Amino acid sequence: MRASALEFRLRVIIHAVLVILGFWSPWIEYWNLGRRISLLEWLALELSRLGVVSFAYATPIVIICATLMAALSVWLRIWGAAYLDPGIVHAAGMNAGKIMASGPYRYVRNPLYLGVIFMVAAMAFAMPVSGAVFVLILVPLFDLRLILGEEKFLSGKLGAPYQDYLQSVPRLIPRLRTTLPAGPRPKHWLRAVFAELTPIGVFLTTAILWWRYDATLLGRAYLISFGLSLVARAFFPTAAPAE
């Protein structure tokens, strides 16, 4: 169930491939499985069909829900990266420094992976329904594999103190209150913003372009956001990960 070191090293590429497959959904044309209607359109139609709300209101409601998910992703990713250091967040290999129990890590152990899940969920609204189901199952499963791999690695490196942290803070469902001390303030806000341009781009694309009701346009804009984030990391390199 745990991800291998190679999967961890290739995690960005694997996430990108899963998202691209979700948008492409080749099984629709090749095996005639499903229809090429976006999840947003399908949800809006279902809400209106069930009489919950008219279609004219259902579509904006779903767009707002997608935008809120994208906003949560930005918040979690930047907040988490600012505390942990983008150099560690985007390092190719796992790192075991001191236990991070400040900021978002007081409430949930994996705010960064939770941010990825919210980001993919926001993008899934522009995918065909079957593609959305594909990514909403496989991306969380893959992230769980990554989390389990990290937990094993950190348990071996950090020992009992990390085990105590595992018992105190939930893995993916944040707790509302915590007894852990606040700890030091984050030092990497600016670098965290540059390192997390992908979720920022997803949020802006979702909030602005969905109102044109063009899922294809959104998919292209999401891809451009990912490309720009890679360019930005080249111009604003993150710190070397701690050993």
Residue 81: alpha-carbon gap to chain centroid: 13
CB 130 within 8 A of CB 28: yes
Distance CA 171, CA 169 (A): 7
- Band (pLDDT 50/70/90 cuts) for residue 221 is very high
Burial class (CB in 10 A: 0-12, 13-18, 19+), 98: exposed
Q: How many whole angstroms separate alpha carbon 222 and alpha carbon 227?
A: 9
**Cα(115)–Cα(117) distance, rounded to whole angstroms?**
5
Closest CA to 109 of 70, 166, 65: 166
Q: How many Å from the N-terminal Cα to the C-terminal Cα in the chain?
A: 26
pLDDT tens for each residue of 20-33: 999 999 999 999 88
Tell me the mean pLDDT in the region 217-235.
83
Supply the pLDDT for residue 97. Answer: 73
Kindly report, residue by residue over 142-201, the tens digit of the pLDDT. Answer: 999 999 999 999 999 999 999 999 999 999 999 988 888 887 777 788 888 988 999 999
For residues 175 and 111, what is the distance between their CA atoms, to the nearest angstrom?
12
pLDDT (tens digit per residue) in 85-135 = 787 888 878 887 778 888 999 999 999 999 999 999 999 999 999 999 999
d(CA 127, CA 38): 5
5 vs 2: CA distance, rounded Å: 10
pLDDT above 90 for 232 = no
Report the pLDDT value the prediction gives residue 235, as an integer from 0 to 100: 65
